[in-house]
Chain A
Amino acid sequence: GAGVSQSPSNKVTEKGKDVELRCDPISGHTALYWYRQSLGQGLEFLIYFQGNSAPDKSGLPSDRFSAERTGGSVSTLTIQRTQQEDSAVYLCASSREGLAGGNEQFFGPGTRLTVL
């Protein structure tokens, strides 16, 4: 079956513009996660969805970052008024369930965001 897909694969934007990143998880996976990876910070957790609700959004770095998930499937990560420090690869992952723990997470290929 299809894996986790993300779009776009690359996004170049100007400082101050808003961007939307999309994630399509594996069908049937109830848990969805956003991480970002940058040279200076490594892999950082951003937010976790169980179904359409987000029990853990503690990793969002500022109020410019928001995410939603609809229909228990597709998720969108929105960054408003982008800054150069937002440049990173944004990775989405899904797993069968999150709360029970112990399930492997399947990662998408990521979106490379560059803010000029």
Chain B
Amino acid sequence: SQQGEEDPQALSIQEGENATMNCSYKTSINNLQWYRQNSGRGLVHLILIRSNEREKHSGRLRVTLDTSKKSSSLLITASRAADTASYFCATVRGSTLGRLYFGRGTQLTVWP
């Protein structure tokens, strides 16, 4: 069953703009991870944020986590055409460590 819900479902921006994707979840978590998928195959891990963290950075990526609102956001700054992909948030619950619960994803299109 799905755990998270991302919004928007689709996002279309120009190169150089920032892209913000949001994720909400329903139950308490151990950590939340963001993944990227190109062309329907091969997910790539982007960043992990633990439940006791509020913000994390990795290169052009910035992730925030608000456990009181059960939500997270992924910001990609200065987007590039190569960032075009589907982005998924996934949670790890304390009761079932290991397995990931995925949201339905945001399809990001960055136009050159």
Please judge, given known A-B contacts A50-B98, A98-B98, whether A104 and B45 are in contact too, CB under 8 Å. Answer: yes
How far in angstroms is the closest Cβ of chain A from B18?
24
Do residues A42 and B99 form an inter-chain contact, with CB atoms below 8 A?
Answer: no
The reply to whether A110 and B30 form a contact with Cβ atoms under 8 Å apart is: no
Chain B residues whose C-beta falls within 8 Å of the C-beta of A48 in the assembled complex: 98-99
Interface of A is mostly: strand
Measured CA separation A112–B41 after assembly (Å)? 9
Within 8 A of B (CB), among A49-90: 50, 56, 59, 89
**Interface residue ranges of B9-43 to A (CB < 8 Å):** 30-31, 33, 35, 40-43
Max count, chain B CB within 10 A of own CB: residue among A45, A50, A56, A100: A45
A25 vs chain B, min Cβ distance (A) = 14
Contact A42 B100 (CB under 8 A): no
Is A91 among interface residues, defined by CB-CB distance under 8 A?
yes
Once A104-B45, A106-B45 are accepted as A-B contacts, the answer to whether A37 and B40 lie under 8 Å apart by CB is: yes
Q: Which residues of B contact A50 (CB under 8 A)?
A: 98
B44 touches A102 (CB 8 A): no
Residues of A within 8 A of B104 (CB): 42
Contact A45 B97 (CB under 8 A): no
Q: How large is the interface on A (under 10, 10 to 19, 20 to 34, 35 or more residues)?
A: 20 to 34
A12: Cβ under 8 A from any B Cβ: no
Whether the pair B31, A110 counts as a contact (CB closer than 8 A) is no
Q: Judge whether B87 is part of the interface by a CB distance below 8 angstroms.
A: no
A–B Cβ pairs within 8 angstroms, 22 of them: A33-B99, A35-B100, A35-B102, A37-B40, A43-B88, A43-B90, A43-B105, A44-B1, A45-B100, A45-B101, A48-B98, A50-B98, A59-B99, A89-B41, A99-B97, A101-B30, A101-B31, A101-B97, A102-B30, A104-B45, A107-B44, A110-B41
Residues on A facing B (Cβ under 8 Å): 31, 33, 35, 37, 42-45, 48, 50, 56, 59, 89, 91, 93, 95, 98-102, 104-110, 112
List 10 other contacts, CB 8 Å, given A43-B102, A108-B42: A33-B98, A45-B99, A59-B99, A99-B97, A99-B98, A102-B31, A107-B35, A107-B42, A107-B43, A109-B41
